[in-house]
Structure 1
Amino acid sequence: MNPTAADAPAGSPPPPYTERSLDALRQVGDELADATVAELFARGETGRFNTLMRWFSTAGQDLPPGLPDVAREYLEATAMPPSWVDWGEMEKARLFFIDNNVHVSTALSFASMPACYVVPHIAKLLSATHSLEYPSRRMAETGQFTVYLMQPGAFEAGSRFIPAAQKVRLLHASIRHHLERENLWDVERLGTPICQEDMIGGQMMFSIQVLDALHRLGIHLSNEGADAYFYAWRVVGAMLGIDLAHMPENLEQARHFSDLYMSRHMGPSPEGARLTRQLIDLYEEVVPGTVFDPVVPAMIRYLVGDTCADWLEVPRSPLWDSAIRTAPALLGVLEALEDRSPLAAWALDRLGHHTSVFELSSLTRGRVMQYAIPERLKGEYGVTSARPRLDRWAPPPLTPDPSAGR
């Protein structure tokens, strides 16, 4: 991707996704970020860059003196959101998030992250690049990033989102750099690590699969809200280095891509099961006591389905697996209260806000997560194998299986 690709206006819809077109996307990384990281490593400047970046955390802030020239050029080239952004649509996305923050957090934790873990090469990569001081780091980074995105003025001076996006993009490039330089990735079989296909796949995990999870929970989503939420993640994708020419333009195209991507790659792996166990342990620690501990695996199983849950070795609990199916009815009662009482709507929104703050605080342990370029990977790493409810949103239909009926 060149420095101006994110600023290209959205053109005609991309061609239908096929095995061949996704194979081509496996060969492509992020040209701008990859060149920046390669130069930093070649000059031995990654340590100095990471140190200085700890003090660069808000948009519009002066870049630190002593920053390597290649890093300064990258940060200046990526300091602005794409010129094609529809700010009215972004505001709709922010209001959607405020109205559904707890539900979105639930979907991210118990649907999106397990969906990542059920792709074996992604699970292997995440397992090896965590450098975890504590198991919650990946969830803390994801939660913090989402909260930054949905803040008022997320793209204005003083916000934390743009610097976070700039750093995450370089983090991805640094992982590609290590894997390819140290021959730790089977490029011939798997293509470029964190390639365009995988980056779009990740975008789908945090957009349409979140909406799918909300739908499964019985949350009443308007078409307008669902479209705006997806649009926000399309903007994020462009800022993280995804080429607009290949990015799904709407939810129907997103469904097509997501179905094909998952059918190509999903399956069991020891890394996926281990990451899921870490996730379950983490949230069981957050929930007071032990009586409700089985709720966590039951929620994961309900949202990702039995096949994926079995691949991830999610424990079964006949009692809780059945009880969790009442969640849509309970959430429906709460939504009815919101509809009938402005006071109840305000109180539930505030409760949702404080619940999300508590969850994020528990994950981060009060720290600001730093998105630094790792100078090395783990030694054992290697991969060989407002609420208008008249137009309620429903998920796009599954992509037809071309082999069906043969």
Structure 2
Amino acid sequence: MTYTEASMDALRQSGDELADATVATLFERGEVAKFNALMRYVSTAGAPLPEGLPDVAREYLDATRVPPAWVDWAEMEKARLFFIDNNVHISTALSFASMPACYVVPHVAKLLSTTHGLKYPSKRMAETGQFTVYLMQPDAFEAGSRFIPAAQKVRLLHASIRHHLTRENRWDVEAHGTPICQEDLIGGQMFFSLLVLDSLHRLGIHMSTEGAEAYYYVWRVVGAMLGVDQNSAPKTLDEARQYLDLYLVRHMGPSKEGAHLTRQLIDLYEELVPGTFFDPIVSALIRHLIGDTCATWLDVPRTPWDTVVKAVPHLLGVLETIEDRSPLGAWALDRIGHLTTIFELSSLTRGRVMHYAIPDTLKKDYGISDAGPRIHPWTPPAATVS
């Protein structure tokens, strides 16, 4: 698939027809509060839907309760094992690259500021972390899992933001397109997939081509479940590179909203690090992963750790050597990685389950082999835009 300025412009005008129609009907009938109250009891896949759920919501939940028919389950299992093997590295990439990268796109930073989704950044980070953990469970798409209900609710949350911003004249559609449009939904999918792989490569993590492709594949499935138009979304990593390069060239730049949100994010991470000695490593790691230009746009401070953090790939290389040569070492490192991820998530959630709901208003204060041997390492697709 080839992406052009014209095709990207078209994607800016499209939202998510199914979710948008569902949310519009709920608001029209005054059933949003009732829906949110009942949906707090829907947290696992396959559970009976509660009595009294609005008909339009029941129809939406029935239509979205299973993953796309084209899912390759062997590929999904490879992705899960890839996540287990790299969970700390993936969490690092999501936290220090994917999240800040969203703020390099001024209209996305403006949208987040307008909805005040990051006035309390720990909430969004907790929701993102919880969503990813749900996704990578062995039973993510089976009865009793938490991932599918979470995906259904996030999709409606996006639709509710589109509903509010357009109807309250709080968004310049002519200048910025539809809020959370298809171009931005696919862009977000790229930030959480290809950009994560790029960041792992930048950290010196050794990945097989098979493992990288499996990880990208699972986010294609996630995109489909979040309302991404599969006729427009990249299907391969090469297509993903073309899309992400063009998307960033079209939109990335400095903004006061992006800088403000980044400052909030840095403050949040520094609070999670015990003491203050290691605080500068937060800014240094963000700068290392997203690059000097983007970091400068976001007012990421320079620190003496900017040079030190470049040694991270060498340290990780030593750990991977231990992992490759010792089954016990591999088990221990995977276990440490799992516990580290759980600790980070529990710190953000304060031990609570994060609930996704449709806001009434946008408040002012708002048996499969593993992922493949590393002897055939993944090489990132070449840049397509100079």
Is TM (by shorter chain) over 0.5? yes
Deviation per residue, 1:11-70 (Å, 9 max, x gap): xxxx30000000000011100000000000000110110111111100000001110000
8 Å Cα contact 2:208/2:373 also seen in 1: yes
Aligned to 2:275: 289
Q: Distance in 1 between matches of 2:97 and 2:118?
A: 21
Aligned to 1:135: 121
Q: Distance in 2 between matches of 1:163 and 1:60?
A: 9
Q: Distance in 2 between matches of 1:202 and 1:135?
A: 17
Q: Distance in 2 between matches of 1:336 and 1:48?
A: 54
Correspondence list, 1:297-312, <5 A: 297-312=283-298
Aligned to 1:260: 246
1:168 correspondence with 2:154: yes
After TM superposition, the structure 1 stretch with the greater mean CA deviation from structure 2, 81-90 or 186-195, is 186-195
Q: Tell me the secondary structure at the aligned position of residue 136 of structure 1.
A: helix
8 Å Cα contact 1:130/1:138 also seen in 2: no
Deviation per residue, 1:246-293 (Å, 9 max, x gap): 010010000000000011011111111111111111111111111100
Aligned to 1:70: 56
Question: Runs of 5+ in structure 2 lacking a partner?
Answer: none
TM-score w.r.t. length of structure 1? 0.92
1:363 correspondence with 2:348: yes
Q: Distance in 2 between matches of 1:107 and 1:223?
A: 18
Aligned to 1:392: 377
Note the C-alpha offset of 1:85: 0.2
Aligned to 1:327: 312
Query: Equivalent of 2:33, from 43, 47, 70?
Result: 47
8 Å Cα contact 2:116/2:364 also seen in 1: no
Aligned to 1:123: 109
Aligned to 1:6: none
Report the AA paired with residue 342 of structure 1. P
Aligned to 2:7: 21
Report the AA paired with residue 314 of structure 1. V
**Share of identical aligned residues, percent?**
74
1:102 correspondence with 2:125: no
Aligned to 2:180: 194
Report the AA paired with residue 69 of structure 2. S
Deviation per residue, 1:129-188 (Å, 9 max, x gap): 245673301111111100000001100000000000000000000000001111111111
Note the C-alpha offset of 1:324: 0.2
Deviation per residue, 1:98-134 (Å, 9 max, x gap): 0000000000000000000110111111123245673
Q: Distance in 1 between matches of 2:184 and 2:119?
A: 26
Report the AA paired with residue 314 of structure 2. A
Q: Tell me the secondary structure at the aligned position of residue 197 of structure 2.
A: helix
* Distance of aligned partners of 1:376 and 1:214 in 2 relative to their CA distance in 1, 3 Å threshold: same
8 Å Cα contact 2:119/2:365 also seen in 1: no
8 Å Cα contact 2:216/2:237 also seen in 1: yes
Aligned to 2:331: 346
Q: Distance in 2 between matches of 1:167 and 1:124?
A: 23
Report the AA paired with residue 109 of structure 1. S
Report the AA paired with residue 179 of structure 1. L
Deviation per residue, 1:365-401 (Å, 9 max, x gap): 11111110011113499xxxx3501210011000043
8 Å Cα contact 1:128/1:378 also seen in 2: no
Q: Distance in 2 between matches of 1:157 and 1:127?
A: 37
Q: How many residues are aligned here?
A: 382
Question: Runs of 5+ in structure 1 lacking a partner?
Answer: 1-14, 402-406
Q: Distance in 2 between matches of 1:380 and 1:222?
A: 45
For the aligned residue pairs, the C-alpha RMSD in angstroms reads 1.2
List structure 1 segments (4+ residues) > 6 angstroms apart after TM superposition.
none
Aligned to 1:80: 66
